């Protein structure tokens, strides 16, 4: 039996229930395997025993009769230039919140099934976020709107076109008098060009913009205060040694988060004798993904962040930075040493640092950030500005549209996308004005939602994969939105509807986009083809603007804000990490995606600090709280989030929809009633204990296996799973991660594993780069046809994700500086796999390349493999989960449209079958075919001699797993361990590399690279790490006498 010498390290815990060892937690983990039916075992009588045996026999029999009968009809003639079953890839783009991103769509026989990031696009660089990954499910959503609709019911598109023709003709004759257009934010060059045409044709028409999150609104206002005109701040995090985030979530919810995460991760990779690492400071109220990855995080109430910003400005002045007069002062929110350290670090890396303010911070804080960046010499180096057009802010836009609806002069309101009846600030009363308006109201939308319900006409919108368009990225780079499939329901795009307003009914969206390319970008036929192929229009990014010296007239207003607010709570409104602002509420992949920090699925909750929860009497997660703001109140479940600032409550948007599809029906709690036009991102209010509780489906504790006998064992093991050190530890002992515990490898009873002479596939996950964003989880789900099971099944621990992101807290829950660690957990593909040894039918076996594979048609569902897997990464299909009795669309057969979204390269599993991560074996097989075909071509051409079948070399990087390809930070590496030049082999040999649960001798093929923080303080000192003395490293610069490592 292998033995191990454990180390007593920092206390890690999964959740507050785990930390307190509550009865609920004990009941869950004592079952260990949540997919069995304990209610049938708790009665000891003979009748219950026979029921259990009968159910087991019936379930085993179900594996032999899985599939409904279907007809398969082949092509009578093969389409020209197409090989059936061979995917093709097209560059396209999509837009979220007015910011575009480049995509590459994989299409099988004319149907898109997977989206990836476009490597040529500066905002994607080959990666995407979870929202883009889930867009495929949105395309094939059976709850999508399929036709125009009026109060009389469904109408044809020709009927709407006839009605619209007369309306728009009369409005053009009146020069647009009485026409109001309300649109989502969009950077589309074509839509902007058509908007200019509309202003000329109908000069009296009004066009307003509204985005419910307004992520860039305060930045626009703040840069206008500082520089006289609104600007867009674009950061170069790859050039930064020090980053200070003032309530900014740069790594997840920022419109440029995918690129920012990639750039930031590039500064967190260490190697060589003199390792360097950037440093990230975060001052925030609620725990964001950026804060969870920060080296130093300070939990500060939202209303006190302006004072903290002024305190840092004063410390910068003391450090010798030429801070403009009037921008210092403020109360001491941060500890003096903390403010001094931040300022000294920034001043010591002037020109290689940046300060970023978040969307909830007032315009004056953004102005201060701009002024400090200028004083530090960062402008033109780590931050660039792009001039933006003048316009009213979005809060004013939605208010103006509501006022227009109340005016008798308004003849028509056309709403292009969005759902303002649901998400507009409550005091605007947009929904009431829309319902009562006598004007002709038209809403273009992908779904029939709350706004559609109140309009005279709802028009079904085309999905972005069904129509032509164009977008601009965060830096202005333009891309063509190329359709992958004909509109499934004859939907129309905003471009097409605006063309109808202009009377150009015969011009298609394609024609309009081609004209924009020709007139706006001076395009030719050749450059058009290049733009379609590459996914970007060359040289279309905005030029950086020259900003003058920052003004300071706003300093008095900032000082007033820094003085603080009165009693009560800061009520913060945040985008949901899954459903965003509610537009993705009917997407099952996103609803079932665990929140990166809370691990809540199928719900939203009021996030509270540990201390506030105690004061309010919130004893456990799910206890209801009552939040009052602006005369309105909402009751919803509370969630105690360690590290949350006191005196604040965070509410995520997008839930509690009243007119929505089957997936989101009855899910979550609406909080829009608390938002006002003056406080639509943050406001002051009160919080009290509500009545009763609401059960939240969280996943973090689902795979815990500790019981009363193993509580000490948990604290021995978790520090071995998530191995963390400081840069000082790494500088002194680069191999510290391999000495956290000493493992004696005893000889095996049987022969050593196969040497794997050919390919030896393996994976490496760099915990120093992983931010916990969960894009990989959705990418895996999209690639591998993983079903959604619904909240009831998640509560039983039956979620089907092949890849999970474990989240651990370190420290005490009452501490404001509690740390967070993330660890992706796929199948480890053990060479000495415990699951293989117990399967009675050899349904899980090893192949010749070392993959632990599943043979689905052998599996009889004993679930012994799941019982014997120490990593808990195997999933069992209790039902045909794509439409099982617990699915939100219970017992509804999959429609033909839904089936189009399935990846044909991956088997759709049925009831009674175990499944797990396959290392995307279908992608490995495709790469082998590609390599063999290439070799065959070269042999035929006489370039190389013939080679034996099956030995065609696969270049490193040609095979990418779905999780690897989507990762914004490139934290996941996959490849052939037998290839010494392969990146995965190099990482396996890195001194930070380790395997988890090594003492079990399972010999996993998945390795982890230890996480490093850059605090200047050893995380291992005094922990007896195999005889190493992990003291501070010498030779590194440090602010104010504190030894700290150098930055990159």
Does residue 594 form part of some domain? yes
| Boundary residue ending a domain (355, 384, 413) | 384
Both 593 and 739 in one domain: the answer is no
665 vs 497: CA distance, rounded Å: 30
Q: Could you tell me which residues come within 8 angstroms of residue 617 by beta carbon, excluding any fewer than 6 positions away? A: 623, 689
Bridging pattern class, strands 153-154 and 149-150: antiparallel
Does residue 992 form part of some domain? yes
Both 673 and 710 in one domain: the answer is no
Residue 951 CB-density burial (10 A; 0-12 exposed, 13-18 middle, 19+ buried): exposed
Does residue 502 form part of some domain? no
| Tokens found for residue 485 | 């499939």
Tell me the CA end-to-end span of the chain in Å, nearest whole number: 45
7 vs 724: CA distance, rounded Å: 13
| Boundary residue ending a domain (365, 384, 403) | 384
Does residue 873 form part of some domain? yes
Output the domain CATH number for residue 276: 3.40.228.10
- Which residues make beta-bridge pairs with 112? 107
| Angle formed at CA 958 by CA 952 and CA 962, multiple of 5 degrees | 130
Q: Where are the alpha helices (DSSP H) in 383-520?
A: 394-406, 420-423, 430-436, 450-453, 494-501, 509-519
Both 672 and 790 in one domain: the answer is no
Output the domain CATH number for residue 573: 2.40.40.20
Does residue 427 form part of some domain? no
Q: Could you tell me which residues come within 8 angstroms of residue 1034 by beta carbon, excluding any fewer than 6 positions away? A: none
Does residue 535 form part of some domain? no
Residue 288 CB-density burial (10 A; 0-12 exposed, 13-18 middle, 19+ buried): buried
Nearest in space to 652 (alpha carbons), one of 229, 926, 287? 287
Bridging pattern class, strands 88-96 and 412-416: unpaired
Both 328 and 360 in one domain: the answer is yes
401 vs 414: CA distance, rounded Å: 10
Both 694 and 707 in one domain: the answer is no
Both 680 and 708 in one domain: the answer is no
Q: At what angle do helices 305-318 and 336-348 cross, to 10 degrees?
A: 60
Q: Could you tell me which residues come within 8 angstroms of residue 518 by beta carbon, excluding any fewer than 6 positions away? A: 524
| Boundary residue ending a domain (334, 365, 384) | 384
Q: Where are the alpha helices (DSSP H) in 44-188?
A: 46-62, 130-133, 135-139, 157-173
Helix (H) or strand (E) holding 561: helix 555-562
720 vs 738: CA distance, rounded Å: 10
Q: Where are the alpha helices (DSSP H) in 911-982?
A: 921-940, 962-966
Both 655 and 725 in one domain: the answer is no
Output the domain CATH number for residue 738: 3.30.70.20
Both 653 and 767 in one domain: the answer is no
User: Which residue carries 């988890």 as its tokens?
Assistant: 996
User: Which residue carries 């991956």 as its tokens?
Assistant: 906
Both 34 and 14 in one domain: the answer is yes
Q: How far is CA 213 from CA 84, 475, 591, 658, 962, in A?
A: 43, 20, 19, 20, 30
Both 893 and 984 in one domain: the answer is yes
Nearest in space to 436 (alpha carbons), one of 397, 391, 406, 467? 406
Both 606 and 736 in one domain: the answer is no
Mean pLDDT in order along the chain per 10 residues (1048 residues): 38 58 58 48 54 51 44 61 84 95 93 95 94 96 94 94 94 94 96 95 95 94 95 96 96 96 93 82 94 94 94 94 84 91 95 96 96 96 95 93 94 96 95 94 96 96 96 96 94 96 92 95 94 94 92 90 82 95 95 94 94 92 93 94 93 95 93 91 93 91 52 63 88 86 69 77 95 95 93 90 92 81 94 92 92 93 92 90 66 81 92 94 92 86 76 86 96 94 94 89 92 84 42 34 38
Helix (H) or strand (E) holding 201: helix 189-201
Q: Structural domain tally of the chain?
A: 3
Both 683 and 773 in one domain: the answer is no
Q: Where are the alpha helices (DSSP H) in 174-304?
A: 189-201, 217-227, 257-266, 289-292
Helix, strand, or coil (residue 161): helix
Radius of gyration of the chain (CA): 29
Does residue 421 form part of some domain? no
| Angle formed at CA 961 by CA 955 and CA 966, multiple of 5 degrees | 115
Q: How high is the pLDDT of residue 1037?
A: 36
Range of the domain at 366: 231-384
Residue 245 CB-density burial (10 A; 0-12 exposed, 13-18 middle, 19+ buried): buried
Nearest in space to 577 (alpha carbons), one of 591, 595, 603, 601? 595
Does residue 433 form part of some domain? no
């Amino acid at each position: 039996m292998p033995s191990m010498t454990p180390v007593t390290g920092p206390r890690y815990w999964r959740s507050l229930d785990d930390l307190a060892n509550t009865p609920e937690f004990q009941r869950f983990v004592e079952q260990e395997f949540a997919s069995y039916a304990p209610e049938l075992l708790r009665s000891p009588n003979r009748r219950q025993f026979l029921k259990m045996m009968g159910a087991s026999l019936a379930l085993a029999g179900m594996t032999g009769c899985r599939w409904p009968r279907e007809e398969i009809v082949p092509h009578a003639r093969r389409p020209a230039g197409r090989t059936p079953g061979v995917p093709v890839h097209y560059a396209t783009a999509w837009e979220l919140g007015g910011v575009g991103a480049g995509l590459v769509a994989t299409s099988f026989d004319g149907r898109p099934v997977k989206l990836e990031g476009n490597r040529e696009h500066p905002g994607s660089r080959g990666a995407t976020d979870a929202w883009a990954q889930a867009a495929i499910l949105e395309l094939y959503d059976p709850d999508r709107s399929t036709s125009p609709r009026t109060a009389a019911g469904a109408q044809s598109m020709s009927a709407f076109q006839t009605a619209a023709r007369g309306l728009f003709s009369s409005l053009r004759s009146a020069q647009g008098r009485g026409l109001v257009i309300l649109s989502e934010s969009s950077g589309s060059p074509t839509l902007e060009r058509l908007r200019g045409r509309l202003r000329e044709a109908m000069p009296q028409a009004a066009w307003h913009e509204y985005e419910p999150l307004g992520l860039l609104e305060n930045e626009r206002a703040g840069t206008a205060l500082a520089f006289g005109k609104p600007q867009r701040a674009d950061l170069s995090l790859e050039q930064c040694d020090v980053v200070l985030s003032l309530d900014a979530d740069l790594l997840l919810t920022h419109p440029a988060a995918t690129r920012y995460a990639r750039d930031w991760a590039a500064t967190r990779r260490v190697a060589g004798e003199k390792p360097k690492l950037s440093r990230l400071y975060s001052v925030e109220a609620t725990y964001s993904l950026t804060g969870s990855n920060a080296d130093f995080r300070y939990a500060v109430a939202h209303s006190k962040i302006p004072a903290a910003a002024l305190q840092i400005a004063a410390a910068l002045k003391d450090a010798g930075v030429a801070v403009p007069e009037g921008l210092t002062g403020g109360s001491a929110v941060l500890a003096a040493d903390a403010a001094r350290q931040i300022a000294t670090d920034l001043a010591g890396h002037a020109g290689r640092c940046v300060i970023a303010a978040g969307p909830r911070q007032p315009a004056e804080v953004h102005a201060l950030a701009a002024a400090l960046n200028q004083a530090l010499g960062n402008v033109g180096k780590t931050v660039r500005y792009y001039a933006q057009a003048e316009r009213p802010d979005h809060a004013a836009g939605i208010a103006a549209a509501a006022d227009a609806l109340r005016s008798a002069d308004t003849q028509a309101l056309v709403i292009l996308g969005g759902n303002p009846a649901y998400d507009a600030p409550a005091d605007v009363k947009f929904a009431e004005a829309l319902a009562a308006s006598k004007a002709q109201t038209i809403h273009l939308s992908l779904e029939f939602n709350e706004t559609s319900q109140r309009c005279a006409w709802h028009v079904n919108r085309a999905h972005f994969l069904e129509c032509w368009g164009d977008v601009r990225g965060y830096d202005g780079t333009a891309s063509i939105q190329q359709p992958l499939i004909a509109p499934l329901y004859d939907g129309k795009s905003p471009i097409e509807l605006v063309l109808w307003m202009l009377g150009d009914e015969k011009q298609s969206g394609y024609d309009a986009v081609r004209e924009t390319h020709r007139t706006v970008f001076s395009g030719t036929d050749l450059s058009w083809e290049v733009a379609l192929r590459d996914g970007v229009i060359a040289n279309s990014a905005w030029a950086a603007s020259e900003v003058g010296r920052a003004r300071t007239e706003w300093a008095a207003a900032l000082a007033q804000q820094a003085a603080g607010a009165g009693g009560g709570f800061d009520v913060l409104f945040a985008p949901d990490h899954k459903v965003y602002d509610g537009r993705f509420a009917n997407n099952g992949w996103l609803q079932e995606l665990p929140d990166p920090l809370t691990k809540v699925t199928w719900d939203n909750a009021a996030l509270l600090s540990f201390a506030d929860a105690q004061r309010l009497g919130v004893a456990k997660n799910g206890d209801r709280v009552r939040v009052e703001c602006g005369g309105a109140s909402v009751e919803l479940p509370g969630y105690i989030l360690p590290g949350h600032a006191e005196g604040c409550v965070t509410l995520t948007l997008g839930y509690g929809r009243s007119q929505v599809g089957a997936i989101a029906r009855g899910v979550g709690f609406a909080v829009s009633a608390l938002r006002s036009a003056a406080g639509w991102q943050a406001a002051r209010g009160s919080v009290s204990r509500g009545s009763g509780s609401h059960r939240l489906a969280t996943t973090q504790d689902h795979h815990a296996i500790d019981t009363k006998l193993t509580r000490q064992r948990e604290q021995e093991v978790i520090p071995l799973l998530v191995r963390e050190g400081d840069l000082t530890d790494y500088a002194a002992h680069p191999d510290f991660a391999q000495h956290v515990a000493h493992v004696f490898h005893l000889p095996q009873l049987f022969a050593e594993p196969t040497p794997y002479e050919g390919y030896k596939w393996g994976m490496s996950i760099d915990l120093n780069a992983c931010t916990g964003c969960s894009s990989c989880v959705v990418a895996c789900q999209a690639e591998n046809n993983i079903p959604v099971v619904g909240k009831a099944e998640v509560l039983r621990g039956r979620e089907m994700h092949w890849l999970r992101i474990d989240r651990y807290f370190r420290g005490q829950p009452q501490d404001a500086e509690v740390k967070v660690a993330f660890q992706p957990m796929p199948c480890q593909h053990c060479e000495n796999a415990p699951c293989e040894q117990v399967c009675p039918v050899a349904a899980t076996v090893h192949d010749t390349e070392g993959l632990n594979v599943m043979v689905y048609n052998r599996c009889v569902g004993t679930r012994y493999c799941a019982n014997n897997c120490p990593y808990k990464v195997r999933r069992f299909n209790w039902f045909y989960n794509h439409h099982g009795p617990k699915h939100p669309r219970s017992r509804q057969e999959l429609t033909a449209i839904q089936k189009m979204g399935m990846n044909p390269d991956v088997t759709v599993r049925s009831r009674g079958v175990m499944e797990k991560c396959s290392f995307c074996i279908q992608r490995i097989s495709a790469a082998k075919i590609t390599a063999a075909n290439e070799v065959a071509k070269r042999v035929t051409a006489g370039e190389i001699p013939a080679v034996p079948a099956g030995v065609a070399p696969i270049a490193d990087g040609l095979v990418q797993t779905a999780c690897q390809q989507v990762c914004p930070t490139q934290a996941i590496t996959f490849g052939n361990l037998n290839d010494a030049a392969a990146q995965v082999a190099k990482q396996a040999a890195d001194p930070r590399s380790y395997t988890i649960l090594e003492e079990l001798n399972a010999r996993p093929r998945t390795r982890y690279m230890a996480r490093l923080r850059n605090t200047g303080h050893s995380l291992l000192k005094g922990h007896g790490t195999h005889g190493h003395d992990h003291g501070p490293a010498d030779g590194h610069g440090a602010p104010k006498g504190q030894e700290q490592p150098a930055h990159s």
